[in-house]
Amino acid sequence: MRPASMTVPEGICCDPGFRGLICVSFGKTDSLTADYHTGGQRRHVIHFDGANTDTLSYLRSTIELACVGVRLVLIGPMADIKAAAAVAAECGLADDEVTLVSDGSEHRTVFCAHCRTVTKTVEPTGSELECQGCTTVLSISNHFSRRIAAYLGYAAHAEEAA
């Protein structure tokens, strides 16, 4: 995956084998998809308010129907674009076929190792938060799972004597 800032990466559509572009934006970033030129190849633009089960399912079906050589550009909050990137990886897209463009928001997703609930937060790694599933106080680790698109959260004070 090519991470990028809010500016358009150069040469995204000039790769050998390029067969089209899927631009997916989340939140308030839908106007940024106009900056991607395809050199005459197909272009599919999708906008979602956020990444959830329904939107990711729609994205999965769009990717599965795409031809070999398609490139995927994901624009929006990091939590949303990483969830979409996980779907792209499950569908077989290689890292160099996916470009992530973050809107700079600090939202992150934390996976509870105890109850497997996902909690959204703006807290940085190394801090603590309460799990929305089991109410355990979690420490947000630096470990990020690309497969589940979330940071690992584990019991913050598990090593302390009871």
40 & 73 share domain: yes
88 & 42 share domain: yes
Q: Which residue has the higher pLDDT, 75 or 162?
A: 75
Q: Please state, rounded to an integer, the average pLDDT across all residues of the chain.
A: 83
35 & 15 share domain: yes
Answer whether residue 28 is part of any domain: yes
**What's the CATH number where 44 sits?**
3.40.50.80
**Beta strands 20-26 and 70-76: pairing type?**
parallel
Q: What is the pLDDT of residues 32-80, one digit of tens each?
A: 555 555 566 677 889 999 899 999 999 999 999 988 888 999 999 888 9
DSSP 47: E
* Owning domain of residue 79: 2-102
Share of the chain above pLDDT 90, in %: 46
Domain count, the chain: 2
Answer whether residue 12 is part of any domain: yes
Q: Which tokens in the block code for residue 95? A: 């890292």
